[in-house]
Amino acid sequence: MKLIDDASVSRLATIFDPLLPEGKLSPAHYQHILSAYHLTDATPQKQAETLFCLSTAFARYSSSAIFGTEHDSPPALRGYAEALMQKAWELSPAIFPSSEQFTEWSDRFHGLHGAFTCTSVVADSMQRHARKYFPSVLSSILPLAWA
């Protein structure tokens, strides 16, 4: 089931928009994530790694592999993935390959600067990075079938 029709896009927006005022994670939602993943007392780097891996999962959800299509993906899922990645960057830029790669991923989520918006490509690239640098965090978040 793809979630790109108007009704699905509207339902997803109803769920995700309150969590993303101005396109960023709300402070309350961020705290909820920290609590849910037992990260309240974790280092900023550990929090960032988890948010990065969650971003990877939501990028995959928005792709043609799950809820999107080859040329369209649910904006709410793509926006949520990008907001998670932005918060990870804010907490610990060191977990990213480079500032250029961070910018490229962000541009792809938004289709900025002529970037191809395929979230499958973004998810694959992010997943490869996470698998190389923080595999245990990634494996604790992604479904086993995606390994």
- For residue 15, pLDDT over 70 is answered with yes
Average pLDDT value for residue range 111-120: 75
Per-residue pLDDT reduced to its tens digit, 78-96: 999 999 999 999 999 999 9
Per-residue pLDDT reduced to its tens digit, 32-74: 999 999 999 999 999 999 999 999 999 999 999 999 988 789 9
Q: Which of 33, 65, 118, 121 is catalytic?
A: 118
Q: Give domain status of residue 102, yes or no.
A: yes
Q: Give domain status of residue 21, yes or no.
A: yes
3-state secondary structure of 69: strand
Least Cα distance to 60 among 129, 134, 120, 107 occurs for: 120
pLDDT band at 115 (very low <50, low <70, confident <90, very high): low
DSSP of 10-69:
HHHHHHHGGG-GGGS--HHHHHHHHHHTT-TTS-HHHHHHHHHHHHHHHHHHHSTTTT-B
Give the DSSP letter of residue 97.
S
Q: How many domains does the chain have?
A: 1
Report the 10 Å Cβ neighbour count for 106: 17
pLDDT of residue 109: 87
Q: Give domain status of residue 98, yes or no.
A: yes
Q: Give domain status of residue 22, yes or no.
A: yes
pLDDT of residue 100: 96
Determine the structural domain holding residue 39 and report its residue range: 6-146
User: Please, are residues 54 and 84 in contact by the beta-carbon 8 Å criterion?
Assistant: yes
Q: Give domain status of residue 83, yes or no.
A: yes
Instruction: Measure the CA–CA gap between 112 and 142, rounded to whole angstroms.
Output: 27
Q: Give domain status of residue 11, yes or no.
A: yes
Q: Give domain status of residue 1, yes or no.
A: no
pLDDT band at 130 (very low <50, low <70, confident <90, very high): very high
Taking the alpha carbons of 42, 99, 147, 58 in that order, is the dihedral positive or negative?
A: positive
pLDDT of residue 114: 67
Instruction: Measure the CA–CA gap between 8 and 16, rounded to whole angstroms.
Output: 12
Q: Give domain status of residue 139, yes or no.
A: yes
Question: What's the CATH number where 43 sits?
Answer: 1.10.4140.10
Would you call 118 a catalytic residue per the annotation? Answer: yes
User: Please, are residues 86 and 30 in contact by the beta-carbon 8 Å criterion?
Assistant: no
